[in-house]
Structure 1
């Protein structure tokens, strides 16, 4: 029996790499990186992170979280209808075409697929696979809502742990027409997730593995589950904003998971829970945006000093502990107001650098370091007004 389980699991692993979603996510992550690098080069003449950063981030924590989540779904007996999984995949592809990564949250993708599953079967009975695979009864609704709650918890965790790991600076205009800086976060995570699908519904091909459990046959499959996230921060620090939003999304996932058992009392409760997930996720996004926009912008030009909007990785500035959003008021003892003044005083002493920095608490601190040949000649810093007027385009 153990060998049978292992053999079927290996077949499921093979199905993971046959799934087109896996390769689409790789392509999509590379596209995200290309668009980011192109915009950064347009505004700052250099990119902050390389174009594969989004692709590398897509697999951050993925194996560990996927294994933990798979263990939970197996232990709790979560089973899914393959037709709804197909609908979720189609919906993901359609939403991804908008390039609005925040729409790739499981609340919209899986929640939307559950809503579509309630109406589509009447119209697609003649389509193979979908015609006989879509099934949405109380028991399946319970499993899907539990899965939706778990994925929202995972989304919240990833936003907290990974949302602030790297951000992209961009310049835009405020409502008053003033150039301000914004920190943009674009994420696409990919999780491998083991799910059980009823065998009689999910075995349209002879080679498809079917595992006997009790009186029924189930297909263990490993699916690539994509999760998307986008946010722009101008008034809040990204660390504060992502922590706040991630916490709210995590709580929403717990609430949806707990409320999923209401589906046992009737399908109308399932729709209410799905609606709560979609509306709740949108309400969280609106709340974060509203809270951020009501604050004064952190990334604006100052009368004294230069606001840091970006830092190149592994640069002298990063090694000195400079953080995005801080204001550099002096370099090597000289006051500065413009990037030209900063670079002029930096070049006067190429072997040593001492910065006077105004931190987030309004306190002055000092950062100093010897400079070595071959290191970034501008310390790796990007400033809010470190571009020409022609480059200050609205993004």
Structure 2
């Protein structure tokens, strides 16, 4: 029982775990504050990100742990140390976008291989000696890691699916010449506690320690550890419909995961192919990031204030506007037969008939359509619509000018 407890407690010594956990809690708090500042309401609770990180991550971690045991995924302490360094550096520089398995797992594995190839022609020093290992050069070890890489990409696709289920995380930003526009930012991660065995040499600290659990299998000794595997992503939607872009990106990531899986199968028969899954995952994800940044052109009229009508940034859940199918970026040009150009005019038109509302809405192709619904006393006085607040715009413009 003591050995099991020690192995469990070892999970909490990883700095990556605490850095991601504290950051995620702060992200939820900051998001709610911005929602109240921009829209005078909270869209989702501050615990949304941390609940997804811990609870869903725990379930996924159990599944991945079973997979690593079944497929025989083995790494050593050198790989684990470099993985933590790479993950922390990527998270510090790229945020949640840097926590995709395509970056953390691929760069760690390729980097460790590069270091050990360098050691073949250059004597090791006190720093490079820490990463000296022959285990990473074995084809069966690389195959196991490429399986873990493919699973990580599928998990990232699942995270994007969860984003698309709650596709409303808007914010207001300042762009050139002090113009204020809306956009949508999605960021989050899963924290997977993955149980893995690490082969331990006879002369290292863990092997000589009486209090650290060691398992012997044949002539080899293994160190059991819970490793925090963090799978995260960040998506910014600047001009497209959030749900549409999130689904496109989800399918792109899943397609990349399928390609990595197929390459892994090929490496099982052709050992000289073992690096291809990692190279493909790294370059493929970079290409996906660049593609979606380019196609999501920010210089459009969507999510901008306009004199043509009231620009809708989003709709709250379980409200009349959500039932009417009003989408982010659409324009409300009239309400109950009265033309509207700002929030106050819309509010005045709604008060003409509090039992029934009929709106003229222009979609992304500037095609008008009519939506209508009956109103009840429990309905929001503004139908649950989210706008670019005039007062917020003036406040943000003043901060730009100052």
C-alpha distance in structure 2 between counterparts of 1:364 and 1:176, whole Å: 35
C-alpha distance in structure 1 between counterparts of 2:363 and 2:212, whole Å: 57
Q: 1:358 aligns with which of 361, 371, 374?
A: 361
- 1:3 is matched with none
C-alpha distance in structure 2 between counterparts of 1:256 and 1:221, whole Å: 26
- 2:28 is matched with 33
Describe the shift of the 1:28–1:294 C-alpha distance in structure 2 as closer, same or farther (beyond 3 A).
Answer: closer
- 1:337 is matched with 341
C-alpha distance in structure 1 between counterparts of 2:192 and 2:362, whole Å: 37
Question: With structure 2 as the length reference, what TM-score do the two structures score?
Answer: 0.80
C-alpha distance in structure 2 between counterparts of 1:137 and 1:99, whole Å: 29
- 1:117 is matched with 112
Q: Given the alignment of the two structures, is residue 171 of structure 1 paired with residue 166 of structure 2, yes or no? A: no
The structure carrying a bigger helix percent of its residues is 2
C-alpha distance in structure 2 between counterparts of 1:60 and 1:364, whole Å: 42
- 2:54 is matched with 59
- 1:196 is matched with 197
Give the number of aligned pairs.
Answer: 385
- 1:227 is matched with 231
Question: With structure 1 as the length reference, what TM-score do the two structures score?
Answer: 0.81
Describe the shift of the 1:300–1:77 C-alpha distance in structure 2 as closer, same or farther (beyond 3 A).
Answer: same
C-alpha distance in structure 2 between counterparts of 1:367 and 1:215, whole Å: 74
Describe the shift of the 1:294–1:38 C-alpha distance in structure 2 as closer, same or farther (beyond 3 A).
Answer: closer
Q: 1:207 aligns with which of 196, 211, 233?
A: 211
Deviations 1:23-66 (A, max 9, x none): 22210102323443454455445554343332223235323322
Describe the shift of the 1:20–1:385 C-alpha distance in structure 2 as closer, same or farther (beyond 3 A).
Answer: same
Secondary structure of the residue aligned to 2:198 is strand
* Coordinate RMSD, CA, aligned: 3.6
C-alpha distance in structure 2 between counterparts of 1:79 and 1:379, whole Å: 55
Runs (5+) with no aligned partner, structure 1: 1-5
TM-fit CA distance, 1:181:
2.0
C-alpha distance in structure 2 between counterparts of 1:318 and 1:10, whole Å: 49
Decide whether the 8 Å contact of 1:359 with 1:365 is kept in 2.
no
Secondary structure of the residue aligned to 1:69 is helix
- 1:284 is matched with 288
Matches within 5 A, 1:1-395: 11-41=6-36, 43-44=38-39, 47-59=42-54, 61-98=56-93, 100-120=95-115, 122=119, 126=126, 130=130, 135-138=135-138, 139-172=140-173, 179-200=180-201, 203=206, 205-260=209-264, 262=267, 269-293=273-297, 296-312=300-316, 317=321, 322-346=326-350, 352=355, 354-356=357-359, 358=361, 362=367, 363-372=369-378, 378-384=382-388, 386=390, 387-392=392-397
Secondary structure of the residue aligned to 1:61 is helix
Decide whether the 8 Å contact of 1:188 with 1:229 is kept in 2.
yes
C-alpha distance in structure 2 between counterparts of 1:70 and 1:202, whole Å: 25
TM-fit CA distance, 1:115:
2.6
Runs (5+) with no aligned partner, structure 2: none
Decide whether the 8 Å contact of 2:332 with 2:359 is kept in 1.
yes
